[in-house]
Amino acid sequence: MSRAFSLYLDAVRFFAALLVLFYHANWIYRPGVLFTSLGHEAVVIFFVLSGFVIAYVADTREQDFRGFMVARGARIFSVAIPAIILTALLDAAGFHIDGAVYPEGYRAWDYPVIRVITSSLFLNEIWTVAIQLFTNVPYWSLNYEVWYYVLFGILFFFEGRRRWIVFALLCLFLGPKIVLLMPVWWMGVWIYRSDYLAHLPRSTAWLCLLLSLVGGYWYVDVNMGQWGWDYLKQLMGPDLHLELSFSRQFITDYYLGAMLALHFVGLRVLLAGVDDCPRHLARAIRYLAGATFSIYLFHQPLLWFYSAVFSSVEAGIPRYVVVVPCTLVTVFILSRFTEQKKDVWKRWVEQLLGLVEQIGARFRLAR
């Protein structure tokens, strides 16, 4: 992967995180611009991008399933565990300051122990279960992505029929919601692992890039995401459609995922061998991308908390221009102690896994 393409992926990752943040900030004030209306689409971007990056790191860094899962666990838990704790604390403090700013649909505070346990084990979205982590709605996608990591690791590192049996059994355990969006994530894996796509002629790469831009514009212009939602609802009926939760527009998610895959295929070829990039620009992109995961998992409870803190500020634009910057500044501060410390978390995960293995070995000997 060329340095220029790697930086581009980091920039896209940061941009997608901002899309999600501004989408949820619509509760404070709705600017009515396209940039603030693409929250679900940003998650599709994350899925395709994640599949590509995970295939890359598995191919170039990790040597076995254990090492792969330790690395992924450090990355996930470095932000997920703080997010669970901070969401609970921020929600309690914010509601105490001014509970009126919290919409009824976000007051998911009953059964707190169950919400914490399922969120810690990433079981919030299996089958027809839909357990929200207090006000932290974006946490849902982590309950998809973590299992995509595991499923990928099984297929990539296991051998023989065993990998397909374990893969199928785990899919059966997870249920339809998570499995339905898995092809979107797998598009990223496919475009990385395809030697043919990595060596397309430049003319074909330009065509892929052009088609992706036209296809993306068409998706937005005809409001395809809403069409996919409505069509599937009509096809399945409202009750069954509701059970799909965040997978309720998977048909158009496939289309958008394909456009993003085309985009990455084209740019990967066009930027191949381009390693020259202004140092200050590269440093800025890496810095911003280093807070992407924190932006995604911390922004929602922070938006509500600061809305409560600044509830005396006039509603609308005045409160918006205070709350959103405060949220962003806080997220970047938190990132320095979470995802940017993933090496520390990796040691902790290694130690925990070693302890579990020791206990398992002693149990086997005792038998």
Q: pLDDT per residue over 192-246, tens digit each?
A: 999 999 999 999 999 999 999 999 999 999 999 999 999 999 999 999 999 999 9
Burial of 303 (0-12, 13-18, 19+ CB in 10 A): buried
The closest of 63, 21, 250 to 144, measured between CA atoms, is 250
Q: Which residue has the higher pLDDT, 34 or 119?
A: 119
Give the best-scoring range by mean pLDDT among 28-32, 155-159, 305-309.
Answer: 305-309
Rounded Cα distance, 326 and 317, in Å: 14
On the question of pLDDT at 153 being above 80, the answer is yes
Rounded Cα distance, 256 and 185, in Å: 12
Number of structural domains (the chain) is 1
Give the pLDDT confidence of 298-354 residue by residue, as tens digits: 999 999 999 999 999 999 999 999 999 999 999 999 999 999 888 888 887 888 777
Rounded Cα distance, 128 and 169, in Å: 17
**What is the sign, positive or negative, of the torsion defined by CA atoms of 47, 53, 56, 62?**
negative
Residue 326's domain comprises: 3-366
Q: To 10 degrees, what angle do helices 160-174 and 142-157 make? A: 170
Give the pLDDT confidence of 58-92 residue by residue, as tens digits: 998 888 898 899 989 999 999 999 999 999 999 99
Rounded Cα distance, 5 and 283, in Å: 15
| pLDDT tier for residue 96 given thresholds of 50, 70 and 90 | very high
The pTM of this model reads 0.94
pLDDT of amino acid 222: 95
Number of H helices, E strands in the chain: 16, 0
- State the CB neighbour count (10 A cutoff) for residue 91: 25
| pLDDT tier for residue 357 given thresholds of 50, 70 and 90 | confident
On the question of pLDDT at 360 being above 80, the answer is no
| pLDDT tier for residue 102 given thresholds of 50, 70 and 90 | very high
DSSP string across 61-110: T--SHHHHHHHHHHHHHHHHHHHHHHHHHHHHHHHHHHGGGS-GGG---S
On the question of pLDDT at 27 being above 70, the answer is yes
- Residue linked to tokens 């996919």: 228
Percent of the chain with pLDDT over 70: 98
| pLDDT tier for residue 367 given thresholds of 50, 70 and 90 | low
Q: What is the 3-state secondary structure (H, E, C) of 335-347?
A: HCCCHHHHHHHHH
On the question of pLDDT at 278 being above 70, the answer is yes
On the question of pLDDT at 109 being above 70, the answer is yes
On the question of pLDDT at 251 being above 70, the answer is yes
Q: Which two tokens stand for residue 116?
A: 């914490």
